[in-house]
Each structure stands twice: as structure tokens, then as C-alpha cells.
Structure 1
Amino acid sequence: MIEAPHVLETAISGDGQRGLVLVRYDDLSTNQRTRYLIEVDLQTGARRHLLKAEWISRIEAIPNSEDWSVLTDQGEGVQLYRICADGQISRLVAGASTVLIGADPRRAVLMSTTEASHRFGVLDYGWAPDGRYLWYSTARVVDPLPGVFQVMENPLEPLDSYVPNQSELRLRSPDGNERLLATARGEDRPYPTIVYGAQAATWQAKTGQGNEPVLVYKALVPTADGRLVFSLRHLGVISGSHEPPFQEASGIHGPNGGTLEISGFGAERALRERLSSGEVKTFGPIDFEIGTALAPLARTYPSLGFGVYGARYRTGVVRNGLIRVSKDQIDSVPVSHDLSLSQCSAADLQPVAVCIREGLNAPPEIVRVDLRTLTLRDLGAIDERYARLPALKAEARAWHKDDLTVSGFVLLPRGYRKGASYPAIVVTHGGDADNRFVNPEIQWSYPLQQWSERGFVVVYINDLVQSDNVERLEAFRQWFAKKGTLPGDKVVQRVWLDQVAMFKAAIDALAQEGLVDPSRVGIVGYSRGSQIVNMAVTQSDLFRVASSGDGGYFAPSSYWTEGINPTQQMLFGGSPYDAAARKNWERAAPVFRAGNVRAAVLFQAARVLSSRVDFFQALRACKKPAEFGFFPDETHLLHVPSNRAVAMTQNLEWFDFWLKGEESGDPVKAQQYMRWRRMRNDLAADASKEACPPQPAPNAF
């Protein structure tokens, strides 16, 4: 599964005749990650390979042209290129100096969470609707500090990722002249932010002023008290004027010329369009979201009276789809509920889209969508090798407790026999347990398919949907904003503890039907999932083994070292050393609840931060079975194929050992199993009883 294809992007020509598909592969034989750009004839399915490189991104059709534009590294760092209809490639922006973005914390101006370090000349770009004007963004290192000594006003972890930089936004006119529109420095903390690195600007038509392309972009503007704040600027590129100002549309354009919005919560959620007259048109109840990062497509066809939008279904079977909203109704592109339509792109001039159709056990394939008739044309699998693999069986599920409901999937063991009871592994990360093939956003470096092949039931469980509950939505907003009106314990309950309660509800239901052995249950998760894993093993006695991937939260030391003390003040009322706040910390923070743990916990980290180390050290102090694995020079989603293989193997062996009592028999692993057997003996002897007495649970699970 490490080498499975992962589709990153699609694009489509304005006339809807050709599509582009960008696919990433990890190759264990070379230990390299490579991207391939494939052009597809959307009538015949014929393909040609246009480009192969370590980096390709931001693929677009150039308006009013048969050519494509891409960001790619052709030996001079990542730059902006044109790919002509005959396949020839040439630079669109010359002489852009490069900066490092990626996994190197000592030289990069910005860290990547998913990819190896690359040098970037052009960070992002966008064409005006007529294809004549182009904006693009760059960055450069400024005033580099000596590598020996730095005075830091606000030292936060990691302390070695401080490279002062300036990002710049430029506009190119049809005559080739360029204009510097805005700059921003990124040197105020160890995580410098490149402001103009991702969709720094957008194009829109200026209502009532003809067809002049208008660029909307961010700029630093001084306030009356002397501060600099970001504000949207509007530039009419033909007139060269920022006047008169006009109101930017703050939502997704609807089929009637207004802005789409979703109102209500839970079963009462409805899609509405707010018209310029102030009138609100309601299309009726919906079970999806639009405008999400996982389904971002939004394109209107005014002459045809409809718009098409990516839809993220969060109730029932979680999946991505495509909807058409006309003057009076909503229609869905018909796809089986065990499949998703992902990475959709719609043509400018014709009602045609290209999408990737895939499922949890269905490898990705290319489809053409006729947006008039809502019919699909199959254009073949991305990689036939995976299409020929015998599929595992997955079932969509939903679990309920009181007024709470979560969705997910159950991946059954190969050779599953009805009536047999199996060990289970819960997988958690957020809301991305959906119908996508070997999805790295939830898969991380967990061998989910291999676990199924080895006789485990794999239980994917999504986070509770925020928009289903007013208080939960407010709790998440308060967590992100670091302030609000809800009591801190209510935020902890809604954001973390409710999720742990739903794991218990799901496993109880699966045990009751005889599928899962409740005495042999484990849990895995990275990032947000790591937070939940750490909470789950300290707030419940359900789990016997866990793997916590590159994350953590509520660590006492991180109150000062990771810049999150405003959040923790809001949650707990003060620092962990504040007598008035101490009880609140003890009710929630895993470090203070290590004595409650009944699971063997494996930690896998790409960066060693306080939030990752504190809980591990607390478990070791309490003589609980725990192991910490570190992958240097890695990213949050491991990008080196050999490291992913090591992480997956370690997870396989850890769960085999603790849930099935099995060892690999590999003599190279003798020391590993000696450590683990010693941990198991300590656990059996309950060696932690005197060292760390359990804390009472704040909720009964």
C-alpha cells in the first residue's frame, strides 16, 4: 500500500475535451517520491504522459489557449511553466530566486507537513479570466542571521526553524510589464508564515463596470494606532485603479447570481442562496457540505441556469460527490454510496467535468461527467495493477449514544466468517474516514489493509460532525479562537471526551453483534487523532494497545514552549502550576492520568516536541508499557518511503504482540521483543500501582 497511487489534482481544458491528472507515487526500490502528469482525451480515454518530476503542482488550463500551466522543478527549483499542446515546456516567469520550503528546520523559510524539502521560486499563481493577466507570488530570505547566536523575543519550539523571509505578490500585464503589488515579512516567530504562498489573490468580475478583470489580494495596511493588519485590496488591472471600492462576494456563487450559504444544524440544515436584492431563496434540506477543502469545486454556468459544486457528505456514508444546483432544485451526480467522486474540475466553456472515482477498496479511476445530463463516462483506472487486486470487504456504519452519532467504516478481515469474534483496531483522525482509496489523510503510516489481511477488524470512526450541534460548533470555534463564552470543561467535553465516549459505543455495538472481541481492542491515530488516542487510553479502560502518531496535546510543558498557553488558560483556567487550575488539568491532561492507562502505547514522531514527550515520560515513570520511535528529517505525514515501511512494520508487530501474543520470529528483532516482553511482565505485575494511583474519570464510559 505504500506504493499505491495518490491523485493530487485534476484540471480540464476550457472546451472540456482534455483533462490533466496529477498522480504521486512512492517507490520503495529507489526510496523516492515522484509525481506524474497525465493528459487524458475525455472523449476516447487516450492518454499521454506529459511530465515526470519530484515536484509538480497547481495544474491549470490557461484561459483562451490550448496550453497548460504548472509549478514544477525542472532543475532550477519550483518555477512556473507553460506546457504547449505539442508537449513542449517553457518558463513563464524568468529569474525568480528560490527559497527552501520543507522538512529542514535549519534552512527552510517555511515548514512542510507532507513533503521533502524543495527550493521554490514561484509559490503560487493565477490567471485572469481572459488569460492575459497573471499574478504570482515569490519569497526571498532577508537579513539572514548568523547561525551561532540569536536573541529571540518569543522562543517557542522548535527553536531552530527561524529564517527571516519576505513574500511578494506580483502582477504581470499582457505587454510583459510587472508590478509589485504587496510584500509581507515573516520573521516574528520561529514559524515564519509566507503570506503569499497559497491562493494569495483571486480574480473576479467587477459588477457594473464591464468585463475588466479585478484582482482581490491581501495587503498590509496601517491602522490608526500604528499597527499593521492585513486587509483586502481590489485592483482594476486595466484602469490600474483601486477605486471605487466594491464589496467582495464572501461566499460561493449560486445559480441565480447570489451567494450560497448553509443554514441550521443537524437534520434542519438547508441550502440557501442570498440574492443581491436581499431575498433569500431556499432549496431545501441537505445532508452535505459545500466549499470544503476535500470537495472545493464551485462553478456556475449562467447561460444554462445552474452551478456545479463539490459536496462532502458527512451523514450516512461519508464520501465526496458532485451536485448540480439549478434555479429551483438540487440534483446529485449518481454514484454508488460505496464510492466517492474526488478531485473534480469543471470546464469554463462547456458543462463538462473530470473527476476521480474511488472507494475505500476501489482503486482510483478517471471519469468524465456530463453536467447537463449528469451521466458518467468511464475512462479507465489510474493504475491497472491495483484494479486487479482482490478487494477486502468494507461496510459503512453509524453508531449512536444518547444524542450523539458518529459515522465510519468497518473493514472486515480477509476470510471473515460470520459468528467469529476478532480483535479490533479503531482508527481516528478527524472527519476523513471516507470512501477514498488508501487515503493518506487517515491512513498515515498505519497498515490498515495489512491488519485486515492478518485477522483484525479495522474500525474507522469519524469525529462527531460539528455542524450537528450548536454547542459543539461553538466549542470548536472557541478552541480555535482561544476565547469564548463556554466554560472550559464544556469545551473539553465537546471537542475531546464526547469522541472517546463514541469509541466505547461503537465497540460495544460491534461486540454485541459478535464481530469484535472487546477484550482485544486497540486504537491508532496521528495529529488530531493522536490527541484523541492519548485521551482515550487515559479516560477509558477499553483499549489494550495504542499507537499515537506525531501529535499530542495538554502537555504541561507545552504551556510555555509551544505557544498554546492562551488556549490552555481558556480550557483550564491557568497553568498546570496554578493551584486553582490544577484540578482541571488533572481531569483532562493525559500526563496527569498516566496511572489510568491499561494499554501499551507506541509513539511515532517526526519532530520531538514537549507535547509528544511529556506523556511518554509520564507512562514510563508509572511503569506503563510505552515505546517512543523518532524519524529524523521527516514531515508530519511521513514522506520517505522507507520510513513509512519501518513505521508500518513497527505498528504491525506492536499490535500482533499485544493483541494476539505473536512475535515475528525475525532474529534481527530479538532485542525489540525482549523489551516488549519485559514491559508485558511489568504490566501483568501491575508495577504501576504504587507509583501512579489512577485519577477518577470525569465521565463514566
Structure 2
Amino acid sequence: MTGKARASALAFVAILGTGSPIEATEGRRWTIENIAIVPTDFDLRLASDGRSLAYLERRADIETDKSVSILHLYDLDSHRSREILRAPSAEQLRRLPDGRGWSLLIDRGDGLQLYKLDARGTLTLLLKREAVVTVGQTEGGLFAVRSGAPRRIGILYHDWSPDGRWLWYATLRPRPEPLAMSIDATVVAQRYRRRAPVKATVELRLRSAAGEEWLVASRPAQDRLAFYYGANVQWTREGPRYQLEQGDAERSGGTGTFIWSFATGSSHPAEQEPGFPSIGLVSGPHGGVLASEGFGRELDLTETRPDGRKIHYGPQPYYIGDPRAAGNWLANDGRKAVLGVRTIPHPRYGLVLLGSRKVKPLLVAGSLTACDFRQDLAWGVCVEESLNQAPRLVHVAPESGEVRALASLSSVHESIAPLRVTAHEWTNRLGYRSTGFIVWPRDYQQGKAYPAILITHGSDADERFASPDLQWNYPAQLFAERGFLVILQNDPSARQQAELWNAYMEWSGGPGVLGPSRLRELIWLNGVYSFEDMIHELVGKGIIDRERIGIAGYSRGSQMVNVAVTQSTIFGAASSGDGNYLEPASYADPKEGYHAIFGGPPSGRHLASYRQLSPSLRAEKVCAPVLQQMASPFAGAIDFYTALRDAEVPAQISLYPGEDIATDETHLFHIPSNRLRAMRENMAWFDFWLRGRRDPNMAPISTYDRWSTMAAQLRDCSRPPSALQPEPS
């Protein structure tokens, strides 16, 4: 039985209303290189006088085979942009409180240090500290949950007091320890060890305008608030208020709040006030904390004031607090706010102007993904993009709702003829909705059933341009150029129903009232049902070929790919990226999550639960060839590959290298040549297994010969392998 899938208003009407091909507008077509050099990670700040804008972007440099940060200055009067600098790393762009430019952290070969940028484009070193700790996946490096090449840290974090008289900053110092035997938890913590573990200390420091310095606190690098957020400092009249973890990365003991007093020159504990913005909390115009509450297609926007009273702004078709949204701004008089939001039915990012009781949404066809505003919120500048619109700068006036184009941020991508993209919503057999998009083949013709590839990664199918957060090393645009119909599908959102929300809470927090069986159904099988029911609808409409359907996803997407091919026979090929969760070998990652899913460890009475979901224990049920692309050689991924080959299922596992033998590639590939090769490997894999095609530009002939040998050995799975039956021309 399949569920009834429902397409949104943007779905099939325009596509199926004609039998003629959809004509592409004038322009070039996508190449793999075009996908690799899409700019990402924009960060922008207006000058205090509103006449210029500094912005950062991250981009692959194919010629040097490195990913680089690029700093630009854009003149809002002349509409001219200048490139100021290219560096291995540049981040944390801030407007200087004195109105004379910006500050940012840049690595110019001597580690990440603090610089000033003035309106003329001149860079001046403000503060330098010895860069003695390397962060990254390299020998002697401190591990961090971030992508990028290993880098040395002089300044880890910085922030200015509103009057500009004080600088709060963080550094890293080595924490050498004598060699000693590891016992119990210290051994478990090294379960993914590829090299000797490194420890470091985060030093939180305060510096006055006169150059005086105080060491505010020293924390182990495992304190995530100190390491990733610089202790979430907020400036008060008494002094900087900051937060530290009162535990470690494995067992959080809560958050401690402290104030460093200007008067005494020391810190003391502070009570956590309702209005104090913890990580992820958003301040409102009444001095309270904003939240999106409830479940369904509309969520209640509320503000909880410091006295506990709650203000209701009404049901809204979007929610606040998504880290991918543009950000949040409170006017200098505190009477209104601009909030970054994510919409629910058609996933994209927009803005909302919030007054004392007024809510005014500012939503465009695509997304506004990075912004900065004047202090009075009269206007600002944002990055606008969508699945078929390259990033560009736009002028935004929240009160009037006007959005006006300023400048392209990537002319090479503007010159590509846009592919047709439509937004959809599907409802599966359990009644759960999932959102997503279809990228249609360049020359789509009604009546022809196309091979299809489904790409999934949690909730990242949204209106962002060729985002690696979603498509990773899967060249979605090239798939569409070469005749595939590409489906970008999200997991069923936990915000639609309380039980699904509770399932995710139990998964992250440990066993609860739902129990392992229901948890597995709601979070993993529910997703597989969504895939199957969406596919049945498209097959029923004659849009896709039932025998030529692939699935791809990395990280959370790899979980769903591995579960899908071990629970369903609907897919003809699969590519799974850099994941190994749900495998017995990954137990204790952390184990509370595994206990919620399976009831306990992979042994004894709990083993039956693992057999119901763990991919390597269900390899004999797989009917699709499986490619695994890895940045690290996870034991669980290797177990899955070995089990597939033992079951005579065609499979390949590919491990991509780091810059040298002492480094690793990262979860989001940062080495351009690796990403190019991985995209070609995926193109070749799906072309071969779904269409019987061999393109020597995507993989060597010897690779296709090896795959052919595996194809000939494929056992009867009630569906013929497409590699042995080439697609009709």
C-alpha cells in the first residue's frame, strides 16, 4: 500500500500542461567545475555610514587545489566591488564600534590573527598571538566539528564592547600531558582515533583600549561554548557576561553564567536571567525571548518576557531560530526586530519585521541567506539566492518590503541557463508530510519516463544555490543536464506533529516513553515510506522509469540511503557518503542514542533490534549496487561494504585523501580535486548502473570493466540490473 502524495501549487501544472520540450533560456550549461566553484559561506557587514559593505565568501580555487576565503569591499554609491584579499581562512567579520571600518580574523601565513579593514581597503594588524595550536584533521591537530584545511590559531574568537573600549578574545594554548595508560572512558573517547589525540586550553581574555589585559578564564577545548562561541559574551554595564559548560562534551552538566566585573577586575557567578540570550535564543522587542511554538503548517510566534508573561504574535507559516537563516537584529532603540526565518510548506529563508504587536513578513521567491542592517533597521543588504538563481546582493527595506537587486556575486553562474525547479510536498502512507523539489531534465518532454536520482540530507532541501550542505559530492545540476530527473527530498519535519518531535528528542537525549521500535519507525522507516510513496506517484504519472531510480546522501543522508536499500527494493543504485551511524561498530557514538534506537548494546536480547535496522546486518536484502565515498575510514562503513560483497551485492568503498599523508579530507570535502573526482565518480556510478553507459571522461575504462564483473554476478532480485540493459535511445 502506498500513501497519496500531494504536490504543491508549484508542482506539475506548468510541466505537464504541454507535450513540447521545455526550452532553456539562452546561456551555458552546467559543468562539474561550475558546481565545484559555487561561492558559499557569505558573511557581510555594512559600514557605519551606510556607504559601503565588506563581505566574505568561501570558494574553491581549482588551479591551486585549495579552498580560499575572499574579502571584498562593495561601494553602495558607485555599485563597484573590489577584491581585497584571498587567504586560506578569513572569518568573524565585525563592524568596529568607532565607525572606522571592520575587524576580522585572517590567516596570512602566521595563523589566524585579528586585523582591521578600513573604508579604503587597507588591512592593519590589530592583535597577534603566537599560533601554537593547529585545529584540523592532521597529525598533532586538535579535532573540531568544522570543515576546512588544518589551520594554526592565534586568535580563536573576538568581540567588541558597544563603546569600543574593550576587546573580548579567545586564544588556544597547548595542554601537554605526560604519556600515560588510558583507562575506560579515555579509551572509548579514542574510538575513531587515526592519530595521537591532542589537548588544548581555551584562554578567554579581555583587553582595554589602553592595552591592559586580563585572563578571564581558562577552559579545556572540550568546553563547546568556549571553543566554538567564545563563551557567548554579552556586554552589560557591570562587565562582560559569559557562559561556560559545566561538564564535558560527552556528559553535559549544564551551563554556568558569569560576569567579569569592570570594578573588581574579576569574575563572579551570575544568575541566568530569562532575557539573557543563550545560544540559539532570539531576543524580541519587549526584552523577552522569542520562540516558534506548536506543530503543523503554522506555528505560534511568541515572546516570553523576563517577568514570565507571554506575548502571542499569532500563527505563522514559518519558524525562527534556524541556524541557516540570515540572522536576527534588534533595533538600537529596542522597539523592533528583524528576524531570519525558514518557511514551512516551501522551504526557503526570509525575514520578518517584528514590532510591538505587528508582524510583517518579507519573503522572496528564493531565499535571503546572509544580511546586515543599519542600526535603526531602516534598510539593509542581503544575499539573495535560490535553487536556480546564483547568489546576488540585494537592497532590502523591511518596512516597505522592497527588495532591489544590487550586484551579482558570481557572474560565471549567472551566465548558465537556469534549470527548471519546482517545489513539492508529499504525504506518505502514515500521513506524514515531506517537502522537497524536482530539478527537471534540461529538455524534458511529457510522455517520456526519465531515470531519476533522489538526493537527501535531513532538512537541507531548500532554496539555496547548489548548496554542498545538501548535494555534497552529488552533481545534481549535471545529472539534470544529462537527462536525469533529480528529486531533492527532506525528512518528514518533526515540527509537523508532537510524536515525531518527541521521537527526535528521545534519539538525542536517550530512551524514553516511545520505545525503540516506535522510534525506528518514526525516524528511519517513515523516511523510507516517504521515498517510496513519492516515487510511486511519479512512476504512476509516467514521469520516471521504475527500473532506473537511484538514491544518494551523505551524513544523515547516508543513514537514510543505507536504510532505504536494506528495507526497500525500489532503488536500482545508491551512493552513500561518509557515514556509518546505526552500525554495531558505531555503538557508543554516543551510546545513549543507540539505547534509544535499539534498547541497548548490540548483543544479547537487543541484537534482534539491530537486525531490524543496522545496514550491515541486512546486506543480504540489498538489491541495489552501493557506492560509499569516505573522508575517514569508519569501521561501520567498512563493515557494511564487506557485508555487501559477502552477499554478492555490487559495492565499492572509496576513501579520499587529505593534503598529505598526515592529514584527512573533511566531512564536507574541502580539497577541490577530491570533490571534482567524487562528483565524476557519482556521475559514472549512476550512469553505469541505471543507464548502462560508460563515459571515459567520468571514470577510467578499467573501472567500468570492474563494475561489469560485479554486475554479472548480481543475484536475481526480481529486477534486472540496468547496467546489463542499456537505456533505450
Kindly indicate whether the alpha-carbon contact (under 8 Å) linking 2:225 and 2:243 is maintained by their aligned counterparts in 1. Answer: no
Kindly indicate whether the alpha-carbon contact (under 8 Å) linking 1:308 and 1:325 is maintained by their aligned counterparts in 2. Answer: yes
Alignment match, 1:588: 613
- Which of residues 672, 683, 693 is equivalent to 2:714? 683
Alignment match, 1:168: 203
Q: Which runs of structure 2 are paired with 1:359-438 in the superposition (5 Å)? A: 359-401=386-428, 402-438=430-466
User: Please, what TM-score do these two structures have when normalized by structure 1?
Assistant: 0.90
Kindly indicate whether the alpha-carbon contact (under 8 Å) linking 1:27 and 1:33 is maintained by their aligned counterparts in 2. Answer: yes
Deviates more, 1:584-593 or 1:233-242: 233-242
For residues 154-185 of structure 1, the C-alpha deviation after alignment (integer angstroms, 9 at most, x for no partner) is: 34112525012111111112221111111122
Kindly indicate whether the alpha-carbon contact (under 8 Å) linking 1:262 and 1:272 is maintained by their aligned counterparts in 2. Answer: yes
* CA deviation after TM superposition for structure 1 residue 243, in Å: 6.2
Task: Determine helix, strand or coil for the equivalent of 1:267.
Answer: coil
Alignment match, 1:573: 599
* CA deviation after TM superposition for structure 1 residue 311, in Å: 0.6
1: CA distance, partners of 2:681 / 2:364: 37
Kindly indicate whether the alpha-carbon contact (under 8 Å) linking 2:680 and 2:699 is maintained by their aligned counterparts in 1. Answer: no
Alignment match, 1:671: 702
Kindly indicate whether the alpha-carbon contact (under 8 Å) linking 1:133 and 1:174 is maintained by their aligned counterparts in 2. Answer: yes
* CA deviation after TM superposition for structure 1 residue 426, in Å: 0.4
- 1:639 and 2:673 matched: no
For residues 472-529 of structure 1, the C-alpha deviation after alignment (integer angstroms, 9 at most, x for no partner) is: 1111111111232220111111221111110011111211222111221100000000
Alignment match, 2:500: 472
For residues 300-320 of structure 1, the C-alpha deviation after alignment (integer angstroms, 9 at most, x for no partner) is: 22648321010111x221101
- 1:330 and 2:363 matched: no
1: CA distance, partners of 2:42 / 2:310: 36
Kindly indicate whether the alpha-carbon contact (under 8 Å) linking 1:109 and 1:141 is maintained by their aligned counterparts in 2. Answer: no
Alignment match, 1:288: 318
- 1:99 and 2:99 matched: no
Alignment match, 1:114: 147
Aligned letter for 1:669?
P
Aligned letter for 2:704?
Y
Deviates more, 1:237-246 or 1:134-143: 237-246
* CA deviation after TM superposition for structure 1 residue 205, in Å: 5.4
- 1:299 and 2:325 matched: no
- 1:517 and 2:545 matched: yes
Q: Which runs of structure 2 are paired with 1:548-563 in the superposition (5 Å)? A: 548-559=576-587, 563=589
Alignment match, 2:623: 598
1: CA distance, partners of 2:269 / 2:624: 64
1: CA distance, partners of 2:306 / 2:452: 53
Cα 1:98–1:672 change in 2 (3 A) is: same
Alignment match, 1:536: 564
Kindly indicate whether the alpha-carbon contact (under 8 Å) linking 1:166 and 1:194 is maintained by their aligned counterparts in 2. Answer: no
- Which of residues 337, 341, 357 is equivalent to 2:368? 341
For residues 512-562 of structure 1, the C-alpha deviation after alignment (integer angstroms, 9 at most, x for no partner) is: 222111221100000000011000000111101000000022212222xx5
Kindly indicate whether the alpha-carbon contact (under 8 Å) linking 1:369 and 1:377 is maintained by their aligned counterparts in 2. Answer: yes
User: Please, what TM-score do these two structures have when normalized by structure 2?
Assistant: 0.87
2: CA distance, partners of 1:145 / 1:421: 65
* CA deviation after TM superposition for structure 1 residue 49, in Å: 2.1
1: CA distance, partners of 2:443 / 2:339: 40
Aligned letter for 1:606?
A
Deviates more, 1:293-302 or 1:352-361: 293-302
- Which of residues 144, 165, 174 is equivalent to 1:141? 174
1: CA distance, partners of 2:610 / 2:175: 42
* CA deviation after TM superposition for structure 1 residue 347, in Å: 2.8
Aligned letter for 1:32?
K
Task: Determine helix, strand or coil for the equivalent of 2:286.
Answer: coil
Alignment match, 1:619: 644
- Which of residues 369, 380, 384 is equivalent to 1:353? 380
* CA deviation after TM superposition for structure 1 residue 237, in Å: 3.3
Task: Determine helix, strand or coil for the equivalent of 2:700.
Answer: helix
Deviates more, 1:303-312 or 1:644-653: 303-312
2: CA distance, partners of 1:469 / 1:229: 28
Aligned letter for 1:318?
P
Alignment match, 2:292: 262
Cα 1:172–1:488 change in 2 (3 A) is: same
Aligned letter for 2:40?
H
* CA deviation after TM superposition for structure 1 residue 71, in Å: 0.7
2: CA distance, partners of 1:228 / 1:170: 24
- 1:235 and 2:235 matched: no
Kindly indicate whether the alpha-carbon contact (under 8 Å) linking 1:530 and 1:548 is maintained by their aligned counterparts in 2. Answer: yes
- 1:183 and 2:214 matched: no
* CA deviation after TM superposition for structure 1 residue 7, in Å: 4.0
Kindly indicate whether the alpha-carbon contact (under 8 Å) linking 1:310 and 1:344 is maintained by their aligned counterparts in 2. Answer: no
2: CA distance, partners of 1:412 / 1:195: 43
Aligned letter for 1:127?
W
Kindly indicate whether the alpha-carbon contact (under 8 Å) linking 1:109 and 1:161 is maintained by their aligned counterparts in 2. Answer: no
Q: How many residue pairs were aligned? A: 667
For residues 290-343 of structure 1, the C-alpha deviation after alignment (integer angstroms, 9 at most, x for no partner) is: 122101511122648321010111x2211011110112221122422xx11111
Kindly indicate whether the alpha-carbon contact (under 8 Å) linking 2:129 and 2:155 is maintained by their aligned counterparts in 1. Answer: no
Task: Determine helix, strand or coil for the equivalent of 1:521.
Answer: strand
Q: Which runs of structure 2 are paired with 1:494-505 in the superposition (5 Å)? A: 494-505=522-533
Question: Structure 1: any 5+ residue segments left out of the alignment?
Answer: 187-191, 689-701
- 1:321 and 2:336 matched: no
Kindly indicate whether the alpha-carbon contact (under 8 Å) linking 1:15 and 1:349 is maintained by their aligned counterparts in 2. Answer: no
- 1:158 and 2:193 matched: yes
* CA deviation after TM superposition for structure 1 residue 64, in Å: 2.4
Kindly indicate whether the alpha-carbon contact (under 8 Å) linking 1:128 and 1:213 is maintained by their aligned counterparts in 2. Answer: no
Cα 1:371–1:515 change in 2 (3 A) is: same
- 1:271 and 2:301 matched: yes
Cα 1:590–1:153 change in 2 (3 A) is: closer
Deviates more, 1:41-50 or 1:385-394: 41-50
- Which of residues 53, 78, 100 is equivalent to 1:19? 53
Kindly indicate whether the alpha-carbon contact (under 8 Å) linking 2:684 and 2:699 is maintained by their aligned counterparts in 1. Answer: no
1: CA distance, partners of 2:486 / 2:633: 29
* CA deviation after TM superposition for structure 1 residue 611, in Å: 1.9
Alignment match, 1:85: 119
* CA deviation after TM superposition for structure 1 residue 114, in Å: 1.6
Kindly indicate whether the alpha-carbon contact (under 8 Å) linking 1:28 and 1:641 is maintained by their aligned counterparts in 2. Answer: yes
2: CA distance, partners of 1:175 / 1:394: 56
Task: Determine helix, strand or coil for the equivalent of 2:506.
Answer: helix
Cα 1:205–1:179 change in 2 (3 A) is: closer
1: CA distance, partners of 2:612 / 2:285: 50
- 1:446 and 2:480 matched: no
Cα 1:219–1:466 change in 2 (3 A) is: closer
1: CA distance, partners of 2:130 / 2:380: 34
Cα 1:268–1:377 change in 2 (3 A) is: closer
- 1:198 and 2:231 matched: no
* CA deviation after TM superposition for structure 1 residue 272, in Å: 1.1
- 1:69 and 2:103 matched: yes
Kindly indicate whether the alpha-carbon contact (under 8 Å) linking 1:14 and 1:350 is maintained by their aligned counterparts in 2. Answer: no
Task: Determine helix, strand or coil for the equivalent of 1:658.
Answer: helix
2: CA distance, partners of 1:355 / 1:166: 36
For residues 46-100 of structure 1, the C-alpha deviation after alignment (integer angstroms, 9 at most, x for no partner) is: 2222222111111111112222111111221111111123322222223333311
For residues 207-230 of structure 1, the C-alpha deviation after alignment (integer angstroms, 9 at most, x for no partner) is: xxxx555332326599xxxx9875
Deviates more, 1:566-575 or 1:51-60: 566-575
Deviates more, 1:536-545 or 1:237-246: 237-246
Kindly indicate whether the alpha-carbon contact (under 8 Å) linking 2:89 and 2:107 is maintained by their aligned counterparts in 1. Answer: yes
Alignment match, 2:518: 490
